[in-house]
Amino acid sequence: MTGRQVGPDSYLVSAAEADELVALAGTVTADPATDPAGFTAQAARAARRLPEPLWEAVHCFDLMGSASGILVLRGLPVRDVPPTPGDNSQHVGATTEAARIQAVVNSCLGQMVGYEAEAGGRLFQDMVPSPAMADTQTSQSSRVVLEAHTEQSFSALGPDVVSLMCLRGDPAAATYVFPATDLLAHLTPAEEELLRRPLWTFQVDQSFRLRGDRFVDGDVRGPFPVLAGPAEDPTFLFDQDLQRGTTPEAQDLLGKVIDLYCRHRREHVLAPGDLLLLDNHRAIHGRSAFRPHYDGAQRFVLRTFVVRDLFRSHHARPVGGLIIPARFS
């Protein structure tokens, strides 16, 4: 029995497909930390043998996107999950079978890459709540709402797809998504025209500054527009925390975008076995606050990044490498 679409942005994996994914994951044996190129090559070979209905769902999302800007694959195998670590420094998630399944699916969309400023360049990042980071605007926060943003909005080398694999969920932790098409539905023509003008600058995220790197493109980028592309399929560049308008009118319009996001965002509570694929150009995202117990059973999500055109970062990476140095962020 094959899986099936259960909504415009959701695909339910069948038991037979889950078994095939486990078998494919077993062929991915390289260590993603010490041999990322070998690991991703094995995952790409395995992706060629994905069950056709599942491959088709992912391919269609890659080609055309979705109305919500995401595709959620549900019912993926999640077995033998270790206790959730207390922070993201232990790199536990990359050792799991679920990580290899995630890599196989990712390979249908493009090439997995790492960023030196994110977990030292590792392909997988453990998105787990940390007591020390609970009130920060980072993936390890919990007591605060993670504000609306495009991943690495400040960088020309940011990911095309953000891939989130849920190993352990929390019913109070909602992932928020707001596609550009939904924003357009609530704008006046004058507001849309303004958002298409290059009137906003972006600071480099504070977490990227902790290493003390000097960035090739400086600490402030832009100005850029918020919206670009055709009205029927626009792109979205936004960061509630890092973005500033270059005119009072532009700064005021940011407030309306944030208000529309808060009123019309879509919510997705990830359960174990959910893989959320986010189009980083068509939608912005955030996360609700929640209260973990730090007992080893708190929320555990694996984040990975995919680019469709690896050559775009050719100048920044060592030959044959998949890790983008922090200074090029």
**Angle, to 10 degrees, between the axis of helix 36-47 and the axis of helix 15-25?**
140
Two structure tokens written together for 115: 């960023």
Residue range 270-295, pLDDT digits in tens: 999 999 999 999 999 999 998 989 99
Give me the pLDDT at residue 213, please: 74
Residue range 121-148, pLDDT digits in tens: 999 999 998 877 777 877 777 788 889 9
Give me the pLDDT at residue 1, please: 63
**Strand ranges, E, within 242-321:** 243-245, 266-269, 275-279, 283-287, 300-307
CA distance 315 to 328: 9
Two structure tokens written together for 49: 């043998």
Bridge partner list, 267: 176
74 pLDDT band, cuts 50/70/90, is very high
CA distance 186 to 191: 10
State yes or no: pLDDT of 212 exceeds 90. Answer: no
Among 99-113, 143-157, 173-187, the least confident range: 143-157
CA distance 135 to 140: 9
209 pLDDT band, cuts 50/70/90, is confident
Give me the pLDDT at residue 210, please: 63
CA distance 32 to 100: 9
CA distance 278 to 118: 18
Residue range 57-68, pLDDT digits in tens: 999 999 999 999
CA distance 304 to 291: 24
CA distance 216 to 53: 43
Q: CA–CA distance from 205 to each of 122, 151, 156, 216, 244 (Å)?
A: 18, 10, 14, 15, 13
pTM for the model stands at 0.95
Domains of the chain: 4-328 (3.60.130.10)
- Residue appearing with tokens 């999302």: 61
State yes or no: pLDDT of 3 exceeds 80. Answer: no
Residue 113: in which H helix or E strand, if any? Answer: strand 111-115
Secondary structure (3-state) at 172: coil
Contact 32, 124 (CB under 8 A): yes
Q: CA–CA distance from 233 to each of 30, 195, 227, 279 (Å)?
A: 38, 15, 10, 12
- What percent of the chain stands above pLDDT 90? 83
